[in-house]
């Protein structure tokens, strides 16, 4: 689907954003007939309320949208309005603060999203003309990247395995002139990706490392995304209730590809690298086992105390590869731990960073673009929890406490040497419908990262 603004020359119905405080004064600006109609509708300008006022022949002349004078709880309220309006083209006729206008415009575009691969459902059909004062190409690039992320997560594992995830990366690379290399199956071993191979070798769908590059000048940014296309838990088999959403365990890969799409569409002046270890964590006679001790690309050995903690293993090899080029900024994204969901719920993307400039940039960026993130600590006293007796590292410390932090500390061991490393422990799923966000796959943290990059990389 194409989430774009209407053509600038298209005739449009005016849409007024009206708060309860401003309702009386707005009503008085209307002619008598539409004013009478408004009164018969009992329009009170409560949040999300819509009033359609006809002209003489019966077409829509004016639309009013109830909105609070102050920022309301939640975000993307304009997406709700887009879903209520009849098909047609609209333009916002009320002056709004710059950030609210940009959020409203993006919310409208996102209201047009629907996962329609297997059904005929569609998103909102009302079109919006790009409001004056926004960066329309930026918002369209964000909407397209978000749609890519959602589609990749929403596709079930029978149609989204390592092969299909690789093809999605290839499609993105081809569209923007990026280079791509893929190391697949047993070739991972001589290429020194032993953890990726170990996690994925039990599946008939071969594991692989996807490596995409774009750009010749500027600072270097490397994105690493967990691409576990389905996670049974391995020999530590998940119960059925926990396995139900495991098609989304490649949400980290989907998010970095969505972010890469935004960066490529905007042609940001940087050198981009995207690394995705793509595997299925399956069960067979050659599955890796609890208490196996596995080598890694970094040279660190890992004791396996739970085969269901596989995401950090495949990321470890990819992070080790990433640090060999010492990028200016290294970011990993993964649907990694249930502990993160317990800590902050499904709507907030917790992140870890040792770099104060990144932390300082992300907070304000998240607020500007309505993409909530929350900083978590690399709490060094917990390092001993990931150090077993028989290997350098433990992939699943006992006790269950601080699970998101210990996972982040595990990953940081493989990113040692990176000047600017940040990790996002995302959920990647919208469990209940909200404005602009239907139930299903969702981007988390990527709009905040995009907004922060110019400051972090001095673009």
Q: Which residues are designated catalytic?
A: 238, 312
Residues in CB range of 333: below 8 A, 6 or more apart: 223, 224, 225, 226, 251, 252, 255, 256, 423, 424, 426, 445, 446
**How would you label 43-75 residue by residue, b for 16+ Cβ within 10 Å and e otherwise?**
bebeeebbbbbeeeeeebbbbbbbbeeeeeeeb
Q: Dig out the tokens for 87 from the structure.
A: 């098909």
**How would you label 121-148 residue by residue, b for 16+ Cβ within 10 Å and e otherwise?**
eebbebbbbbbeebebebbbbbbbbbbb
Dist CA 353 CA 355 (whole Å)? 5
DSSP 439: S
Residue 15 in contact with residue 53, Cβ under 8 Å? no
- DSSP calls for 314-341: HHHHHHHHHHTT--SEEEEEE---HHHH
On the 0-12 / 13-18 / 19+ scale of CB atoms within 10 A, 273 is: buried
Residues in CB range of 2: below 8 A, 6 or more apart: none
């Amino acid at each position: 689907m194409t989430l774009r603004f209407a053509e600038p020359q298209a005739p449009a119905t005016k849409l007024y954003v009206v708060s309860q405080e401003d309702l009386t004064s707005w009503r008085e600006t209307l002619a008598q007939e539409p004013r009478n109609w408004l009164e018969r509708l009992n329009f009170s300008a409560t949040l999300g309320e819509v009033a359609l006022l006809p002209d003489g022949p019966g077409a829509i002349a004016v639309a009013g949208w109830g909105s609070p004078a102050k920022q309301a709880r939640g975000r993307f309220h304009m997406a709700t309005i887009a879903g209520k309006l009849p098909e047609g083209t609209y333009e916002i006729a009320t002056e709004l603060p710059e950030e609210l206008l940009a959020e409203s415009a993006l919310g409208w575009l996102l209201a047009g999203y629907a996962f329609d691969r297997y059904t005929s459902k569609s998103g909102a059909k009302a079109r919006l003309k790009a409001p004056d004062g926004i960066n329309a190409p930026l918002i369209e690039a964000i909407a397209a990247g978000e749609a890519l992320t959602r589609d990749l997560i929403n596709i079930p594992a029978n149609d989204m395995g390592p092969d299909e995830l690789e093809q999605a990366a290839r499609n993105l690379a081809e569209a923007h002139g990026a280079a791509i290399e893929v190391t697949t199956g047993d070739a991972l071993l001589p290429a020194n990706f032993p953890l990726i191979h170990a996690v994925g070798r039990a599946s008939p769908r071969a594991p692989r490392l996807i490596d995409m590059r774009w750009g010749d000048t500027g600072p270097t940014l490397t994105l690493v995304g967990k691409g576990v296309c389905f996670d049974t838990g391995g020999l530590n088999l998940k119960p059925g209730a926990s396995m139900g959403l495991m098609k989304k365990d490649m949400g980290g890969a989907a998010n970095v590809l969505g972010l890469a799409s935004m960066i490529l569409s905007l042609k940001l002046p940087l050198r981009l690298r995207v690394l995705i270890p793509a595997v299925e964590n399956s069960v067979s006679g050659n599955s890796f086992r609890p208490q196996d001790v596995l080598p890694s690309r970094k040279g660190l050995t890992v004791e396996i105390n739970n085969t269901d903690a596989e995401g950090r293993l495949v990321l470890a090899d990819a992070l080790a590869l990433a640090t060999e080029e010492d990028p200016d900024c290294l970011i990993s994204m993964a649907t990694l731990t249930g502990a993160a969901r317990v800590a902050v719920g499904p709507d907030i993307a917790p992140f870890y960073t040792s770099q104060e400039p990144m932390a300082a940039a992300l907070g304000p960026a998240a607020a500007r673009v309505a993409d909530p993130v929350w900083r978590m600590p690399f709490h060094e006293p917990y390092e001993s929890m990931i150090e077993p007796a028989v290997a350098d590292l433990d992939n699943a410390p006992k006790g269950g406490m601080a699970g998101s932090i210990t996972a982040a500390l595990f990953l940081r061991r493989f990113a040692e040497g990176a000047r600017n490393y940040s990790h996002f422990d995302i959920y990647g799923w919208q469990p209940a419908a909200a404005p602009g966000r239907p139930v299903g796959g969702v981007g988390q943290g990527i709009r905040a990262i995009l907004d922060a990059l110019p400051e972090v990389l001095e673009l």
